[in-house]
Amino acid sequence: MSIRIIATGGTFDKEYDELAGKLGFAESHMPDVLERARLTIEVKLEVRNLIDSLDMVDQDRAEILQSCLNSAERAIVIIHGTDTMRETAQVLGAAKMDKVVVLTGAMIPYQIANSDAFFNLGFACGVVQLLPAGVYVAMNGRVFPWNDVKKDKSVGVFINQA
Amino acid sequence: MSIRIIATGGTFDKEYDELAGKLGFAESHMPDVLERARLTIEVKLEVRNLIDSLDMVDQDRAEILQSCLNSAERAIVIIHGTDTMRETAQVLGAAKMDKVVVLTGAMIPYQIANSDAFFNLGFACGVVQLLPAGVYVAMNGRVFPWNDVKKDKSVGVFINQA
Amino acid sequence: MSIRIIATGGTFDKEYDELAGKLGFAESHMPDVLERARLTIEVKLEVRNLIDSLDMVDQDRAEILQSCLNSAERAIVIIHGTDTMRETAQVLGAAKMDKVVVLTGAMIPYQIANSDAFFNLGFACGVVQLLPAGVYVAMNGRVFPWNDVKKDKSVGVFINQA
Amino acid sequence: MSIRIIATGGTFDKEYDELAGKLGFAESHMPDVLERARLTIEVKLEVRNLIDSLDMVDQDRAEILQSCLNSAERAIVIIHGTDTMRETAQVLGAAKMDKVVVLTGAMIPYQIANSDAFFNLGFACGVVQLLPAGVYVAMNGRVFPWNDVKKDKSVGVFINQA
């Protein structure tokens, strides 16, 4: 079993810029994160341009889809901002790939106290190995199919769409 | 879906005793850990007597088995020391329960920098929802069946037994 | 020896608001911070309205001055944003109090990895006990008199004014 | 102003050995700690053989004294285990050097949650710049002269000796 992890930024990977005095993006924390996870499965890390998912445009989603299509690994975890995770999942889900794609992210950046990031990554790395082909969102300890998920922004959790 | 989490201690839950100057057990960190994970699935936490798994005796394993048998939840995650995780898995596996039992733990305590604990818990909470009935060890980003796993203590990772 | 600590907010006390997705202020972290410091000297904590020091107006500084004047403790540490720490120091310095007032803060919030906050607080709590009456800025492991300090925003360190 | 920091080990610098399953010493964390502190004063770090202060013998203390005597810097901070900090302070104090020597340490290792280490280092780096020549213990937010300090091991705090 080998997994591709595609880092796209989002809250998970945000970092405090001490000169600007606000959160932004620098280097991805994923190499450190993965070393800390002590994985013995093969992991291929692909760090894309790190952005806030609110800034993602169609072109970004097309490129993420292309990364999935190009992936030699059948199991793919995508680190993504939560605000438009559903939109990207829809683009990927419509492509009907014969791969397992799990999108996850974080409500609190990995670098900040009380972050859920590391748990969510572990959860995603687990379910991606067992789910049937398809596109899923994995947040709050739950697996959602790409076409039945939304973020309830009033409380900051993912729920079914209906 | 609801999950039972049984905390038995192990490295995961160890805490520094600043008067004794060494690691031991106090209150379980699991309530804080679970809150941080922001789970929306139902979780039933059962905190047992927290001990080092090297100190576990047959009676402890019999009681953990009884906890599994008594569990109203079909999906069970057990937080366990790594040194004898395999031995407990064998006791549970031999019972052939119609439940999914996933044992996990940590190489570094949750409270110490660079700990894998939170990732491992996320991983276990994911796979326990998808695996068929059986007993498994989930460590290093891999799922092992209870009867084909051992800890390679020279490098601190879990591998297949053969 | 007893110390008054006046928390005014600033980067030191900022917290990630996971619903808004940005840093702001909630409860002060100072009670936790002080417990962690294991002080046996008497500390009187005064938590004022927590704000970004860029949002401070004359009225805020007048109130901080009044807090210093009212302080029963001769040694006062003020937790303050770095961007206008100098301006507040000037207001306090001009008042020529017979007290020792040390302003400190942080380049990275206490809650974020790699924060200097806890070091700076320790530094300030040390020097406030030894300095002669006056108003000082304590940052980067240095003590600056209130009328000879500025923040070099291009590199994020405090230097002499000249 | 420049400071020499002499790292001797102690609880401050202990690290979890994940293969042995207990706390020990590896590389000193002091280079990382000092970078995080964002000091602009000149700091000369001297990392000695890192040991538990309960394992210190006369020869170790003689060597620490020699390091102080050799120090080109007049201000010296020594990172030391708390259990025999007083004994080392007495050896250094009896030497009546014309230098300022401040011993500090931690009740909880720097790498473990809720550690006081970083605060204590900040405190020590502050007072060492202001104290008159002599040997001091700086713990719990207080400065103790070398000949009037002891650790109350029942509660884990430093107090006057009398």
Three-state SS string over C42-99 comes to EEEEEEEEEECHHHCCHHHHHHHHHHHHHCCCCEEEEECCCCCHHHHHHHHHHCCCCC
Q: Is the dihedral of CA D120, D126, D128, D132 positive or negative?
A: negative
Two structure tokens written together for B81 = 């020391």
Q: Is B157 exposed, middle or buried (0-12, 13-18, 19+ CB in 10 A)?
A: middle
Closest CA to D7 of D81, D57, D83, D78: D78
Please tell me the distance from the alpha carbon of residue C34 to that of residue D105, in angstroms, as a whole number. 17
Partner residue opposite C122 with nearest CB, options D39, D119, D143: D119
Partner residue opposite C109 with nearest CB, options A16, A83, A156: A16
DSSP code at position D128? T
pLDDT at B93: 98
Written as one string, the DSSP assignment of D62-105 is: HHHHHHHHH-S-SEEEEE--STTHHHHHHHHHTT--SSEEEEE-
Look up residue D69 and give its amino acid.
L
Instruction: Provide residues of A within 8 Å CB-CB of chain C.
Output: 11, 16, 18-19, 21-23, 83, 107-109, 111-114, 153-156
Two structure tokens written together for C88 = 């507040």
Measured between CA atoms, how close is A59 to chain B, in angstroms?
31
CA distances from B27 to A77, B30, B108, C34 (A): 34, 9, 17, 22
pLDDT at C147: 97
pLDDT at C119: 98
pLDDT surpasses 90 at D121: yes
pLDDT-derived band of residue B121, with 50, 70 and 90 as boundaries? very high
pLDDT at B1: 84
pLDDT tens digit sequence for D125-141: 999 999 999 999 999 99
pLDDT surpasses 90 at D69: yes
Partner residue opposite D40 with nearest CB, options C38, C131, C141: C141
- b or e along D101-134 (b: 16 or more beta carbons within 10 Å of the residue's beta carbon)? bbbbbbbbbbbbbebbbbbbbbbbbbbbbbbeeb
Residues of D in contact with C121 (CB under 8 A): 119, 122
pLDDT tens digit sequence for A45-82: 999 999 999 999 999 999 999 999 999 999 999 999 99
Say how far residue C61 (Cα) sits from the centre of its chain. 13
Residues of D in contact with C107 (CB under 8 A): 38
Q: What's the angle, vertex CA C82, arms to CA D109 and CA C135, rounded to 5?
A: 95
pLDDT surpasses 80 at A33: yes
CA distances from C77 to B29, C104, C109, D143 (A): 33, 7, 17, 17
Q: Dihedral of the CA atoms C124, C125, C128, C129 (nearest 10)?
A: -150
Partner residue opposite B18 with nearest CB, options D18, D111, D156: D156
Please tell me the distance from the alpha carbon of residue A43 to that of residue A4, in angstroms, as a whole number. 6
- Beta partners for D16? D23
Residues of A in contact with C140 (CB under 8 A): none
Query: Cβ separation of B116 and A37 shorter than 8 Å?
Result: yes
Please tell me the distance from the alpha carbon of residue A35 to that of residue A158, in angstroms, as a whole number. 28
pLDDT surpasses 90 at A1: no
- Beta partners for D42? D2
Residues of C in contact with A18 (CB under 8 A): 107-108, 156
Please tell me the distance from the alpha carbon of residue A66 to that of residue A77, in angstroms, as a whole number. 14
pLDDT at B52: 96
- Beta partners for D119? none
Measured between CA atoms, how close is B17 to chain D, in angstroms?
8
Please count the residue pairs, one from chain A and one from chain B, whose beta carbons lie less than 8 angstroms apart.
114
DSSP code at position A74? S
Say how far residue A57 (Cα) sits from the centre of its chain. 16
Q: Is B91 exposed, middle or buried (0-12, 13-18, 19+ CB in 10 A)?
A: middle
Please tell me the distance from the alpha carbon of residue C105 to that of residue A110, in angstroms, as a whole number. 23
pLDDT tens digit sequence for B70-105: 999 999 999 999 999 999 999 999 999 999 999 999
The complex's ipTM?
Answer: 0.98
Partner residue opposite C37 with nearest CB, options D41, D116, D138: D116
Closest CA to D140 of D149, D128, D132: D149
What percent of chain C is helix, strand and coil (3-state, nearest 5)? Answer: 30, 30, 40
Q: How far apart are the first and last CA of chain D?
A: 34
Average pLDDT over residues B135-153: 97
Whether residue D67 contacts residue D79, with contact meaning beta carbons closer than 8 Å, is answered with: no
DSSP code at position D10? S
Measured between CA atoms, how close is C119 to chain D, in angstroms?
4
Query: Cβ separation of A126 and B138 shorter than 8 Å?
Result: yes
pLDDT at A34: 98
Two structure tokens written together for B76 = 């069970």
pLDDT at D159: 97
Query: Cβ separation of A124 and B126 shorter than 8 Å?
Result: yes
Two structure tokens written together for D44 = 């000369």
pLDDT surpasses 80 at A162: no
Average pLDDT over residues C42-65: 97
Element (H, E) at A138: strand A134-139
pLDDT surpasses 90 at A117: yes
pLDDT at A137: 98
Please tell me the distance from the alpha carbon of residue A141 to that of residue B75, in angstroms, as a whole number. 13
Query: Cβ separation of D38 and C159 shorter than 8 Å?
Result: no
Two structure tokens written together for D61 = 């203390």
pLDDT at D1: 84
pLDDT at C1: 84
Q: Is the dihedral of CA C28, C31, C37, C43 positive or negative?
A: positive
Residues of C in contact with A107 (CB under 8 A): 18
Three-state SS across chain B? CEEEEEEEECHHHCEEECCCCEEECCCCCHHHHHHHHCCCCEEEEEEEEEECHHHCCHHHHHHHHHHHHHCCCCEEEEECCCCCHHHHHHHHHHCCCCCEEEEECCCCCCCECCCCHHHHHHHHHHHCCCCCCEEEEEECCEEEECCCCEEECCCCEEECCC
Measured between CA atoms, how close is B97 to chain D, in angstroms?
32
CA atoms within 13 A on the CB side of D147: 7
